[in-house]
Homo-oligomer: A and B are copies of this chain.
Amino acid sequence: MKKKLDPLIKALGHPFNDVQLLDLALTHRSQGNHNNERLEFLGDSIVNFLIAEDLYERFPEAREGQLSRLRARQVKGATLAEVAREFNLGDYLRLGSGELKSGGYRRDSILADSLEAVIGAIYLDAGMQVARERVLDWFSGRLDNLTLNDTQKDPKTRLQEFLQSRQFALPRYEVVQVEGEAHSQLFTVECVIEQLDQYPLGIGPSRRHAEQEAAQKALQALEVK
């Protein structure tokens, strides 16, 4: 088993004392009762704490709401899955046959959960300081690029708050076009703000992306900073 995991261990940067902990961290619940869910529970709380601590120190002027938003972006499933992909974590997962067939090793949620389990495993193997060094190393590029400007709320939220503060009705988002095949669709969404006579369009690979783009255009049209 150890040999097979060697490239992953090297990528993670932690030579496990007890490689069975890593093996367990890679075992999805579709494999049976002895799986990584408990390690994921532990690892989730550790990565939350480590990112919180780093942001607390990194942004001494940030307010609590800003720190919360910065952290939410780092520990959300999509980001954790991105980090997991940098280690090719999906190639090492032990999945039941159903999940294997359906491509579970590519799914964001399974990758994110497994990365949290790996963090739990490193903590149990070597303690908080080693876990801190590994997690901050993996996230360093993302953390170094953060600025307090990143703490702005997303466009849809800002648009909603702007309209509410002025007693206008909330915007409506309508899908006006879907192009392309099943796995590479392009959505066009209209953001309808009748009272202000604004109907900007947004285009994106998902309905959500298209809505955010449309909201961003509405904010620009309404000159909301």
Contacts and interface: CB of A to CB of B under 8 A. Distances in A.
A67 B41 contact: yes
Contacts of A38: 56, 62-64, 67
B49 A64 contact: no
A42 B38 CA distance: 23
B68 A56 contact: no
Contacts of A56: 38, 41-42
A211 interface: no
Nearest to A29: B64
A64 B52 contact: no
A136 to B, nearest CB: 15
Interface string A63-83: 110011000000000000000
Contact of A53 (B37, B40, B45, B53): B45
A48 B71 CA distance: 15
Contacts of A40: 64
A192 interface: no
A42 B53 contact: yes
Contacts of A45: 45, 48-49, 52-53
A69 to B, nearest CB: 11
Interface string A24-59: 000000000000011011101110110011001000
Contacts of A128: 128
A41 B52 contact: yes
Given A38-B63, A44-B52, A128-B128, 6 more contacts: A37-B64, A38-B62, A41-B68, A45-B49, A45-B52, A48-B48
Nearest to A68: B41
Interface centre among A40, A44, A45, A53 (most CB of B within 10 A): A45
A65 to B, nearest CB: 8
26 contacts: A37-B63, A37-B64, A38-B56, A38-B62, A38-B63, A38-B64, A38-B67, A40-B64, A41-B52, A41-B56, A41-B64, A41-B67, A41-B68, A42-B52, A42-B53, A42-B56, A44-B52, A45-B48, A45-B49, A45-B52, A45-B53, A46-B49, A48-B48, A48-B49, A49-B49, A128-B128
